Chain A
Amino acid sequence: MMDRRTVLKLGAAASAATLLPGFAVGAPGAGSGVRIERFVFDERFAEAIAKGRDAGETGIPISGVDGDLTRLWYDDLSLRWQRKPMALAGLTAEDALFVLGTLAPAYRMRVVEETEWGIARTIGPTPVSELPLYSWVIAPADRV
């Protein structure tokens, strides 16, 4: 997983206010009214890295994933979610959204917002491909 320092280095400039359509990350009560406690970005895409950097700058804890959610799930989210549900947002390919969206209901959480953000090209050592990115919010059922 990419750490916060790397993200801040790699990310392109963008305004936190435009981070996600429909709500403002890090602004409790704004937009959909969800206070985001984690931002998940897909480190295979420059656009998602940039959004992760922006979220990080607003003070939201961030997590980079490459489509495989294993480490984020096993080392982090599954432990937190067992204690209490939390709200998280993300800009990822479909794979990460599907996995988190499928895991969430067991912890009384669900996908409450899902928007196709646009097509993006992968970066890095793997073969370049184009995939749609999704902007999403997963939140406790009783907080939306």
Chain B
Amino acid sequence: MAIPPGINESDFTAALAEFENAVGKDWVFTRDEDTRLYRDAFSPVQNEPEEILVSAAVAPDNVEEVQAVVRTANRYGVPIYPISTGRNLGYGGSAPNLSGSVVLDLKRMNRVIEVDDKRHFAIVEPGVSYFDLYRYIQDRNLKVLIDCPDPGWGSVVGNSLDHGVGYTWGLYRDHFIAHSGMEVVLPNGEIMRTGMGALPGAESWGDYRYGFGPHVDGLFSQGGFGVVTKMGFHLMPEPEAYLKGIVTVPARQDIVDLTAMVNQLEHQGIIGMPNYNTPLAPHLATPEVSAMLSQPFAQAAQELERWAQGNELGYYSVELQFYGPRETVQSNWRYAQRLIGDIPGATFETLHELEWPIAADEAEGLHKVALGIPNLEIFRLGTRQSADTLGWDGEMWFAPIIPKNGEAVLEAQEVFTEAFREAGMPSFTHPASTPQTWMYRAFVFLMGFPVSKVDVAANQRQREMFTHLANLGAEHGWGEYRTPPIFQDLVMSHYSFNDHVLRRFSETLKDAVDPNGIISAGRGGIWPRHLRDRSA
């Protein structure tokens, strides 16, 4: 059995005994075959000395048990790392930042407290997955839509706390922004509620997120200031109709006008999440196009555009999703065509038209999460990206935020593609790469770096490139919104305005709120005082 850092064996044994008293012997895990289940399945340092492993795990059933565990941890100085369902794959899974931590596994706290389909909110515990919430809604025929990520097995609370995102409309798909009030067990074991939850007798927890006074909820996202045991979320009312149309434009520079127009649509609430892509994607691996792309960026871009136009393929596409009354979605689609029709050569096609209730069969073959239907399709090997082929066992996501405009897309294409070329590595980007649009007000220039369970040298190369791109991106003002644990110190170091005052301020708060540094040490690049040197 591993021992957490800074703890002697007898204290750890005593702490484990208290954990058992609190939650029951069956729910404290110390055997290797149990603790190894908390390894990050997609760890980029698997089987290397840097791999983050846990010493034990504790699974409380309710908030009182969480309080007891936290008080014990605080008394003995045992580092604990709360997880909800622990499926944050690509960003660390269930593994903590500090090796030897005890995982506080909240999977048993899986109660849906309330769903209101007249005021459109839900209040849930951390062990509630998107599947669980969806089932609760379906079983009761409630008229609300959930916004879920790919895949739907993750925790509604956990995803939100790591700034997770989804695929539907406006702010609903930014899962932290969509939250409304929390219940948190603080490092000293006290329970705090935020927003309207802080007002005894208030029935508006799920309605109004701020309550009164400082809005402290952000401290509990990507941070180690407490254990979140309940959260409220705004939900989208089930719309009447859904329409998806696709727009294709012919030139590389068209992305500038296209993004401006799509922003105009989205920021008025006319469309849901737009999905940018390139019709060139199926051709990029062909020998002819590969040869083009191996050239210096400017030449590759020029020849690719000429080739695309010669073959009348279009250069970029964007899928537009409309939610609302059936008359309105049709009308809004017509308006989008009128607006974007100003781009020479733009073409339009209606892809899908549906009305709720949408049966499972109707959604087959469609992007189900855009319809609020959780699924596991993303794991089907045939649907994986080319970088995630056999021989690779997962991926770590490189997720820099760039401005939501075409100029930034063009710049990111060039900066990152040239970086791969200079490094002599196959590029994950090219002159037609498009951003992810999960955030309502920003683009993510996402790349999935493959990781292997067995090829240590390959993992090292991928980590070096990841680090290089993170540094390079920071030089251009692009920072990651979320990252695996081994890169969190690096990424926080990039958010350095005024001599890293954001980190220093957070550390000051950490020292005050969690003086023994027991909760999620190192999460978000914020270490407790006694471990701070290790991240320098």
Contacts and interface: CB of A to CB of B under 8 A. Distances in A.
A2 interface: no
Contact of B377 (A70, A103, A110, A141): A70
A69 interface: yes
Task: Determine which residue in A98, A102, A105, A110 has the highest number of CB atoms from chain B within 10 A of its CB, and name it.
Answer: A102
Given A105-B37, A106-B107, A73 B379 contact: no
A73 B375 CA distance: 9
A99 B379 CA distance: 7
A66 B364 CA distance: 13
A69 B376 contact: yes
Nearest to A74: B131
A131 B33 CA distance: 28
A94 interface: yes
A68 B375 contact: yes
A110 B380 contact: no
Contact of A69 (B107, B135, B379): B379
Contact of B153 (A71, A95, A103, A141): A103
A102 B41 contact: yes
A126 interface: yes
Interface string B130-144: 010001000000000
Interface residues of A, number: 24
A131 B131 contact: no
B87 A102 contact: yes
Nearest to B89: A102
Interface in A92-144: 93-95, 98-99, 102-103, 105-106, 110, 126, 129, 131-132, 141
Contacts of B33: 110, 141
A67 interface: yes
B381 A73 contact: no
B153 A67 contact: no
Given A78-B131, A102-B87, A103-B153, A68 B381 contact: no
Nearest to B34: A141
Contact of B379 (A74, A98, A106): A98
Interface of A: 66-71, 73-74, 78, 93-95, 98-99, 102-103, 105-106, 110, 126, 129, 131-132, 141
Interface of B: 33-34, 37, 41, 85, 87, 107, 131, 135, 153, 360, 374-377, 379-383, 390
Given A110-B33, A131-B381, 9 more contacts: A67-B381, A68-B380, A74-B374, A78-B131, A93-B381, A99-B379, A102-B41, A102-B87, A106-B107
13 contacts: A66-B380, A68-B380, A69-B379, A70-B377, A71-B360, A95-B380, A98-B379, A99-B153, A105-B37, A106-B107, A110-B37, A129-B382, A132-B390
